[in-house]
């Protein structure tokens, strides 16, 4: 009997398609979603002798892999795998799979929503109206402005497509994407410093795990009155430097769907900074993305347990 332990509560939360597909393919799902994300010890207890696990942000360390000798596949319900020790998984003969592209449209939609919300000062206007005032808030039009995209994978390209419909010029940096690919997608390739220093709006779509990308120096190099949007990983941005830039008015606004620590503490300096738009890491949470991510992991779990190659393997960098 094929079975998989589900650790992430987001699996199939908004669609029954993953459960129906699992039933059709003969995969039994056992939900152990309480206390998510789980520590290594809790992950071991939850997995037991199961051959497959579907995870969100749960810790899959070398110790977890060593303690679960029956495990054959770790399926990430999402894209980022920084919570999974890929080297240890490969050494243990455990396949790791994820869902590339499944949430690209959802995150891109949210990114444009955050940009529009900040540029047109929508939250300020609504708060004013609800407070009984009828005030005029001068906004900024997107047409003709430069959107700098850091990370030009599926999500970055989807953001570019949407922003282009608003008349924005696109400049992009991605150390893993060739310049000609960026050009073919209708964007101007440039190095990190150039994109940061010349963009009216800077949007982050790179994976985390390699430290801070935008520190105090990079934030200070942004044009005065520019905006920063981060719907990727919180650790990419020096949050204290960003709070300072908002407090001094150097940046027009920042919109964050990700924080270094989630949820951020109530006394976090960013939460008290002016012109901050914040959402609780909801970028991937759309009806379509939820159904697609769930069915993709079910299909790949079954492939691995059947002895076949997964469609979306994740391997350690060489």
Q: Residues 195-252: pLDDT tens digits? A: 999 999 999 999 877 789 999 999 999 999 999 999 999 999 999 999 999 999 999 9
User: Does 318 have pLDDT greater than 70?
Assistant: no
Q: Distance (Å, rounded) from C-alpha 133 to C-alpha 298?
A: 51
pLDDT at site 1: 73
Q: Distance from first CA to last CA of the chain, Å, rounded?
A: 35
Q: Is 233 annotated as catalytic?
A: yes
Q: Residues 143-178: pLDDT tens digits? A: 999 999 999 999 999 999 999 999 999 999 999 999
Q: Distance (Å, rounded) from C-alpha 81 to C-alpha 101?
A: 14
pLDDT at site 82: 86
User: Does 5 have pLDDT greater than 90?
Assistant: yes
Q: Is 154 annotated as catalytic?
A: no
Determine if the peptide bond prior to 37 is cis (ω within 30°).
yes
> One of 205, 233, 303, 312 is an active-site residue; which one?
233
Q: Distance (Å, rounded) from C-alpha 240 to C-alpha 253?
A: 15
Q: Is 126 annotated as catalytic?
A: no
> One of 126, 240, 262, 315 is an active-site residue; which one?
262
All domains in the chain, ordered by first residue: 2-102+286-305 (3.40.50.720), 104-278 (3.40.50.720)
**Percent of the chain's residues with pLDDT above 90:** 93
E strand residue ranges, 118-267: 146-150, 169-173, 188-189, 201-204, 227-230, 253-256
DSSP per-residue codes, 197-223: HH-SEEEE---SSS--SB-HHHHHHSP
> Stretch 106-132: mean pLDDT, rounded?
97
User: Does 187 have pLDDT greater than 80?
Assistant: yes
Backbone torsions φ then ψ of 61, nearest 5 degrees: -95, 175
User: Does 139 have pLDDT greater than 80?
Assistant: yes
Q: Residues 44-94: pLDDT tens digits? A: 999 999 999 999 999 999 999 999 999 999 999 988 898 999 999 999 999
pTM of the predicted model as reported, rounded to 2 decimal places: 0.85
pLDDT at site 213: 95
> Stretch 38-48: mean pLDDT, rounded?
96
Write down the mean pLDDT value for the chain: 96
Would you state the structure tokens that stand for residue 190, as one six-digit string? 């440039």
Backbone torsions φ then ψ of 259, nearest 5 degrees: -130, 155
> Stretch 134-144: mean pLDDT, rounded?
96
| CA-wise closest residue to 12 among 302, 284, 292, 299 | 292
Q: Distance (Å, rounded) from C-alpha 8 to C-alpha 244?
A: 35
pLDDT at site 239: 97
């Amino acid at each position: 009997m094929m079975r998989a332990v589900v650790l992430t509560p987001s699996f199939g939360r908004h669609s029954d398609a993953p459960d129906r597909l699992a039933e059709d393919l003969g995969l039994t799902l056992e939900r152990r979603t309480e206390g998510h994300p789980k520590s290594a010890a809790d992950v071991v207890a939850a997995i037991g002798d199961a051959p497959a696990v579907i995870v969100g942000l749960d810790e899959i360390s070398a110790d977890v892999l060593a303690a679960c000798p029956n495990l054959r596949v770790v399926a990430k319900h999402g894209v980022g795998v920084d919570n999974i020790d890929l080297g240890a998984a490969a050494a243990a003969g455990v396949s790791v799979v994820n869902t590339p592209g499944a949430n690209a449209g959802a995150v891109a939609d949210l990114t444009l929503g955050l940009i529009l919300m900040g540029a047109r000062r929508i939250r300020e206007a609504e708060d004013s109206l609800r407070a009984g005032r009828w005030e005029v808030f001068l906004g900024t039009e997107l047409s003709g402005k430069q959107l700098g995209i850091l990370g030009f994978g599926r999500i970055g390209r989807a953001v570019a497509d949407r922003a282009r419909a608003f008349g924005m010029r696109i400049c992009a940096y991605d150390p893993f994407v060739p310049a000609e690919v960026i050009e073919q997608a209708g964007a101007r390739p440039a190095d990190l410093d150039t994109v940061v220093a010349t963009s009216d709006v800077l949007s982050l779509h790179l994976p985390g795990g390699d430290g801070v990308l935008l520190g105090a120096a990079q934030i200070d190099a942004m044009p005065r009155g520019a905006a920063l949007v981060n719907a990727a990983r919180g650790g990419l941005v020096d949050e204290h430097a960003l709070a300072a830039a908002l407090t001094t008015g150097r940046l027009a606004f920042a919109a964050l769907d990700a924080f270094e620590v989630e949820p951020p503490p109530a006394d976090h300096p960013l939460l008290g900074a002016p012109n901050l738009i914040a959402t609780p890491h909801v970028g991937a949470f759309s009806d379509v993305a939820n159904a697609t991510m769930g069915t993709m992991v079910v299909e790949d779990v079954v492939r691995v347990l059947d002895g076949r190659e997964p469609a979306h393997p994740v391997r350690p960098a060489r």
